[in-house]
Chain A
Amino acid sequence: MFKVFRAFVTKEMYHILRDKRTLLILFGMPIAQILIFGYAVTNEFKDAYLDIYDQANDQMSKELVQHLQSSGHFKVNRMIQSEKELEDGFKAGTTKLAVVIPYGFSSELSNGNAVTVQLLADGSDPNNANTLVQYASTIINGFQQERLHQTDNPYQVEVEMRMLYNPQLASAHNFVPGTIALILLIISAMMTSLTIAKEKEIGTMEILLVSPLPPLLIILGKVTPYALLSFINAILILLIGYFIFDVPIKGNILVLLGVCFLYVVTALALGTLISTASKTQQDAMMRSLMGLMMPSMLLSGFIFPLSSMPKVLQVLGSIIPATYFIEILKGIMLRGVGAHLVIWEILILVGMTIFLLGMTFKNFKIRLE
């Protein structure tokens, strides 16, 4: 039986190695995706451009500008002289954030009066505007506190923030677990459903079914090479994350790999299930894109936090395997927890896998009839 299995896997490897498109999806996509997510899709920023409309133009206002610049987050783009210029900048899209310092900034401040510094942001890009305003107000608050310290008010309460597990709030820490979840899904589920659908499309599936091969062996033979490659990919992404983006792996690496393996099986079951329902490759592709990729990307908490979504979407998110897998990965990689602390998520994932395998087996049998 093993000899037969080997013949099948050998054939499958030929298919994979000879198809440039498959190879590209297998190895090009994971690397491209992790690099894009790591570098480009990031919530942090450095050297954002800032326009300043310094109406006061006195000692204090100059110090504030200095303070903003020295934070390392902002660079002064232009010193604006009139309100018209301000408006033009926003309209042209060259201004993203402007700081307006009012007349008599120094004197009001030293007299202990309230002064309002105005922050104007381009709200057509809300995420960006939000982040910029938050950074800028934090810096201005800091400036104010510094000044106040020098004068009086000893009872100032200072808020000191510390982000646990991801002190620099680096996005890559969030994206690496998410990317692993997506990549494993693409390769294990989409590629297997495609390769099985392809056999149906070109008619070889019929020949395989007429041969003495047990159906289970056909599925296993198809799935094994992809399981292996997904696993290699998971390790590759972990390495890129570790060496290029400094994403730590604090927990037990064996538990981590074990969970990856479990998730690969889940994804393979999903892929086979999709292929039992699709007759052509295109069909299989559409089903995996719409049914797997989109929800896993949007509803798993990978990009948008689940807790801030409406109830309906939260429920949808909770039936997606990736949701739990990402949770487990974050726990093990970033927080360094042992398996016992994510046991609930692991159990849910095991349950889902058993359910999917059962469905797959049932559907495959029906199809044979």
Chain B
Amino acid sequence: MSEQAIKVEGLTKRFGDFTAVDTISFQVEKGEIFGFLGANGAGKTTAMRMLIGLSKPTEGQGFVAGFDINTQAEKIKKNIGYMSQKFSLYNDLTVKENIRFYGGIYGLSKSRISEKTEDILAELRLFEVAKKPVRELPLGWKQRLSFAISMVHDPDIVFLDEPTGGVDPHVRRQFWETIYQQANAGRTIFVTTHYMDEAEYCNRVSIMVDGKIAALDTPDQLKKQFNSKSMDEVFLKLARNV
């Protein structure tokens, strides 16, 4: 079971009469960039919340980083990183203090935290603004810092919930370069997005419609299967079918 980073069988979440996630099953390989797509309200966020231990499934099984999502949520939390669509750093804390805080709550040692701080500052070339409050950074920098901080404890899997919302195309390109770097280093990336061009960057893509996974394959295969030129078209065809 530890071959896959994520393995889900018949995962279901109901709120009263409403079934938000309807018996979905899929697997994500280690080091894979897995795109998790779907229209608003299709159940993406609910499914993801179950994977990261914020919500308990009504039915079904799942393993994330080798731990059971039904019983071992606390262990999962130690082994995953998470970056939400809302900007999630503290604006009134400096770049360094943010890194120190998140390192601290993941229980990193002091020396490990300073090491990590140096690494992140060097990688993002943020030395000059290290002592500035995060509030003063441009959005693109904040987003990349946020991503780096979500991996401060070297997790096996990183969950990114619409990480590039509201960022210009140039920064989005940069952002995806870092995602690739991380995937090449063996880290699994689980990403939701609204941008269909970004879907093309993923190794495999799943598209959720009304709580179910309507399609799951590589972008090229999906385009062939739905006889489309772009992921955009695939997405529209799937959405129209329902």
Contact = CB atoms under 8 A, between A and B. Distances in A.
Are A and B subunits of one complex? yes
Contact of B92 (A14, A203, A207, A368): A14
Nearest to B88: A207
A4 B52 CA distance: 21
Contacts of B91: 202
A290 interface: no
A4 B56 contact: no
Interface stretch (A107-115, A210-218, A233-241, A275-283): A210-218
Nearest to B104: A7
Interface string A188-223: 000000000000001110111111110000000000
Interface of chain A: mostly helix, strand, loop or mixed: helix
A8 B84 contact: no
29 contacts: A7-B100, A7-B104, A7-B105, A8-B104, A10-B104, A11-B97, A14-B93, A14-B97, A15-B93, A18-B92, A203-B84, A203-B87, A203-B88, A204-B90, A206-B54, A206-B86, A207-B84, A207-B88, A208-B105, A210-B52, A210-B53, A210-B54, A210-B80, A210-B82, A212-B74, A212-B78, A212-B107, A368-B54, A369-B56
Contacts of A207: 82, 84, 88
A228 B102 CA distance: 24
A8 B105 contact: yes
Interface in B74-131: 74, 77-78, 80, 82, 84, 86-93, 97, 100-107
A8 B56 CA distance: 27
B203 interface: no
Contacts of A125: none
B55 interface: yes
B85 to A, nearest CB: 8
Nearest to B149: A207
A56 B53 CA distance: 91
Interface of chain B: mostly helix, strand, loop or mixed: loop
Nearest to A15: B92
A212 B106 contact: yes
Contacts, number: 73
A213 B74 CA distance: 9
A213 B105 contact: yes
Nearest to B83: A207
Interface in B49-71: 52-56
Contacts of B87: 202-203
A97 to B, nearest CB: 55
Contacts of B101: 7-8, 10-11
Contact of B90 (A4, A11, A206, A212): A11
B84 A206 contact: yes
A22 to B, nearest CB: 10
The 3 closest A-B pairs by CB, nearest first: A7-B104, A203-B86, A210-B82
A366 to B, nearest CB: 12
Contacts of A4: 104-105, 107
A3 interface: yes
Given A7-B104, A210-B80, A369 B88 contact: no
A211 B77 contact: yes
Contacts of B54: 206, 209-210, 368
Contacts of A152: none
A146 interface: no
A19 interface: yes
Contacts of A212: 74, 77-78, 105-107
A244 to B, nearest CB: 35
A115 B82 CA distance: 89
A20 to B, nearest CB: 11
Nearest to B98: A11
Interface in A248-275: none
B71 to A, nearest CB: 15
Contacts of B97: 11, 14
Contacts of B103: 7
A11 B93 contact: yes
Contacts of B90: 11, 14-15, 202, 204
Nearest to A19: B92
Interface string A331-369: 000000000000000000000000000000000000011
B84 to A, nearest CB: 5
Nearest to A206: B84
A66 B113 CA distance: 81
Contacts of A11: 90, 93, 97, 101, 104
Contacts of A3: 104, 107
Given A11-B97, A11-B101, A14-B97, A211 B106 contact: yes
Given A7-B104, A208-B105, 14 more contacts: A6-B104, A10-B101, A10-B104, A14-B90, A18-B92, A203-B86, A206-B54, A206-B82, A207-B88, A209-B54, A210-B52, A211-B105, A212-B78, A369-B56
Contacts of B104: 3-4, 6-8, 10-11
A18 B55 CA distance: 34
Contacts of B105: 4, 7-8, 208, 211-213
A207 B77 CA distance: 11
Nearest to A1: B107
A212 B82 CA distance: 12
A21 to B, nearest CB: 12
